[in-house]
Structure 1
Amino acid sequence: MAKDNLLSKPEEGMTYTPMMEHFISVKNANPDAVLLYRMGDFYETFFEDAQIVSKELNIVLTARASDNGKIPMAGIPYHSLDSHLPKLINRGFKVAICEQMEQPTPGKKLVRREVVRILTPGTLLENNFLTEKQNNYLAAVTKKGKSYGLALVDISTGEFKVTQIDGEKADNILLSELSRLPVSECILPSEHPDRKTELSDTVWKDLIPENVTATWFTEIAFNPKVSEKKLLEHFKVKSLEGFGIHNSPLLMSVSGAILAYVEKNQMKALSQFNGLSTYKITDFLIIDNIAKRNLELFCTSRDNLFQGSLLSVLDQTKTAMGGRLLRAWLLNPLLDKTHINRRLDTVEELVNKNMLRLDLRDHLGNIRDIERLASRIAVGMANGREMVALSASINTLPSISEILNKHESNISNILKKVPDELLEL
């Protein structure tokens, strides 16, 4: 439609309907997100959001008349939301979902609506957004002097790890780490996160890879004292000493900030994060992006295809969790001789004990993605089919325990006895 007199944003002094006034107030509270506003059987967008949605999803742009011009509108049926959302998220947009919280009734002028979730590239739980055998990391970075704090979480699995990067080459190491890991979004501290600030105009311009969505987040959340309080409350502990970050303001800063960001967008408890671990980049052989591409670890150098890569040949894993672990091992080769030999001993045992290997593979095929199922349950997003899948997976564990004990295997002492509490669950 013609763009003449189309309003890209609300104009001050104009009178709007109660519904439009509410839309504007919700949009003002989420200025950096495309707001999908539930109206009956449709999610409607207005003003600039409507123009974005119309262009990106290739749907019709309409308009409703107002005193000073036309308000652009574009809507998608509620039942096709899951097919449209990936297109917006994959193009770097944040999407706020505003749902009707009650049914319309005769005589009621305005239905109560609330934002129930904000979707960003790094805070996805829906299976149609995620690659089964690949992590989807959200990162948080802050800086003090020449050192950086880096936190990484995979909200879909509950993984939470942090590291500190020091030294003269800290800039290069940070860029390398963010490039080689499957990071889809990185949050950065800002005094004015609601302002549209170009990354190229900041100190972060050469530190965040182009394929990673940079998101500004209030610098208050990165304050070490605020972060420490957040972490103590979340983990229900009196000290962070057990996590190994109590003496590092940088690690406390990014750890608390990333939890605050996930909580803000999920608007639910973060019970899938029941711990965090620290790691040192120097514990592993660093494989940068160039080496990763030349070695064709995860995709071919010519066609950028998974098929034909080293991982496509090696990955015979029976579970999604095993596939993600194998990918992580390829990306982070061990340097410690003790750890290397321990892994080789396990491989040797599986090679020599054919029946053990075959029995394990047979039973592992019955285990679904427990990590992601547990995360979806933790935030109240799981459906009945997923609950049944988790139950069936847990009920397979005693059989695996029996196999390990039968063959006197040293592979996993943890699985040799399945806790009664888990089976009762």
Structure 2
Amino acid sequence: MKKYTPMIRQYLEIKKDHEDALLFYRLGDFYELFFKDAEVASQELNLVLTARNNSDEKIPMCGVPHHASASYIYRLASKGYKIAIVEQLENPAEAEGIVKRGVVKIVTPGTIMDELSDQSESIFIAGVHDYDYGYALCLNDMSSGKLISFNVEHDVDKLIASLLNYNTKEVVVQKDLDQGLKRRLQFLNEMTVSEVETVEILNESTPLYNHIDNQFNVEAIQLLLSYLHATQMKALYHLRPVQLISNDGYLKLDYNALSNLELLETLQSKQVKHSLLGFLDHA
């Protein structure tokens, strides 16, 4: 095994538990990335790729200022990446040896919140539960705390249309979900599929959905809430009780209609500004 400095060994130990995320490792006033993460971030963010000397090896590295990190994190998450934020967990002045660090939050394409600007459109993350003759969905807009749940027919095209209508950027599914359905979802542009192996039911979250009787909807809600708590690593007090929605009696606009009418974002710039929603926000 290669001989690394204590800091790089710490970085690699944390990275081992977060292989699917880019590690933003806090060093002073910067978040640093190393190895493959640095190469990816430098390309996606147009950052200068440098190297850190480690014995006879040069380790690729790049970094972003802590005070300006939100915009970089947003750009990466918008491109489908997950970002694990590593902070110092003790006072450096009191540390014995290397300062203890750990992941305090994982920003994903569907859990962007602090990184959003006032001009940004709502971004949803969805939990999908397949109950053989239909799909139960639970969607959340992290910035507002809104939670909704509804059901669609057991038709993959209708499921995808429902997800696109809500500007869903991330879909959370159980690991044993049908592989064919997973592939259809993964094929969609600008939508990340995240898997959960074990759903953790948290007692503090039950008041958000204890008014809902349909067990299929409850399972979709529990799936999504379990993922949110695992990635945000804190109590989500801003989440609102789940609103159960029935699509009966409503005029439905498909994704193409929403896009061509520029209701939520403009066709060219893909921004809320100058869309109908943008004008209504300033009315």
Kept in 2: contact 1:46–1:72 (CA 8 A) = yes
> What stretches of structure 1 of length at least 5 have no aligned partner?
1-12, 193-198, 319-425
- In the superposition, the TM-score normalised over structure 1's length comes to 0.59
Kept in 1: contact 2:172–2:196 (CA 8 A) = no
Verify: 1:291 aligned to 2:257, yes or no.
yes
Residue 242 of structure 2: aligned partner: 276
Residue 86 of structure 2: aligned partner: 98
1:350-394 C-alpha deviation (Å, 9 max, x unpaired): xxxxxxxxxxxxxxxxxxxxxxxxxxxxxxxxxxxxxxxxxxxxx
Q: Quickly say closer, same or farther: Cα 1:130–1:146, change in 2 above 3 A.
A: farther
Instruction: Select the structure with the greater relative contact order (CA < 8 A; seq sep ≥ 6).
Output: 2
Residue 334 of structure 1: aligned partner: none
Q: Quickly say closer, same or farther: Cα 1:143–1:157, change in 2 above 3 A.
A: same
- In the superposition, the TM-score normalised over structure 2's length comes to 0.86
SS in 1 for 2:97: coil
Partners in 2 of 1:292 and 1:107 — Cα distance?
55
Partners in 1 of 2:10 and 2:149 — Cα distance?
40
Kept in 1: contact 2:121–2:272 (CA 8 A) = no
Partners in 2 of 1:179 and 1:270 — Cα distance?
25
SS in 2 for 1:205: helix
Residues 8-157 of structure 1: pairs in structure 2 closer than 5 A: 13-66=1-54, 69-105=57-93, 108-126=96-114, 128-132=115-119, 134-157=121-144
Partners in 1 of 2:10 and 2:269 — Cα distance?
49
Partners in 2 of 1:88 and 1:302 — Cα distance?
20
Residue 162 of structure 1: aligned partner: 149
SS in 2 for 1:292: helix
Of residues 228, 243, 262 in structure 1, which corresponds to 2:228?
262
SS in 2 for 1:24: helix
Is the radius of gyration larger for structure 1 or structure 2? 1
The structure whose residues are more often strand, as a share, is 2
| 1:291, distance to aligned residue in structure 2 (A) | 2.2
Number of residue equivalences:
283
Residues 134-213 of structure 1: pairs in structure 2 closer than 5 A: 134-167=121-154, 170-190=155-175, 202-207=180-185, 210-213=188-191
| 1:45, distance to aligned residue in structure 2 (A) | 1.1
Amino acid across the alignment from 1:53:
A
| 1:219, distance to aligned residue in structure 2 (A) | 3.1
Partners in 1 of 2:170 and 2:138 — Cα distance?
12
Q: Quickly say closer, same or farther: Cα 1:300–1:256, change in 2 above 3 A.
A: closer
Residues 282-361 of structure 1: pairs in structure 2 closer than 5 A: 282-299=248-265, 309-311=275-277, 315=280
1:54-111 C-alpha deviation (Å, 9 max, x unpaired): 2122222222344674321112222221232222122111111111123323883210
SS in 1 for 2:19: coil
- Runs of 4 or more above 6 Å deviation: 302-305
Residue 244 of structure 1: aligned partner: 213
| 1:294, distance to aligned residue in structure 2 (A) | 4.0
Partners in 1 of 2:86 and 2:108 — Cα distance?
15
| 1:132, distance to aligned residue in structure 2 (A) | 4.3
Kept in 2: contact 1:33–1:95 (CA 8 A) = yes
> Identical aligned pairs, as a percentage?
31
Partners in 2 of 1:280 and 1:219 — Cα distance?
29
Kept in 1: contact 2:110–2:170 (CA 8 A) = yes
SS in 2 for 1:244: coil
1:16-65 C-alpha deviation (Å, 9 max, x unpaired): 22222211111111111100111122211111111112212222222234
Q: Quickly say closer, same or farther: Cα 1:63–1:281, change in 2 above 3 A.
A: same
The structure whose residues are more often helix, as a share, is 1
Amino acid across the alignment from 2:184:
D
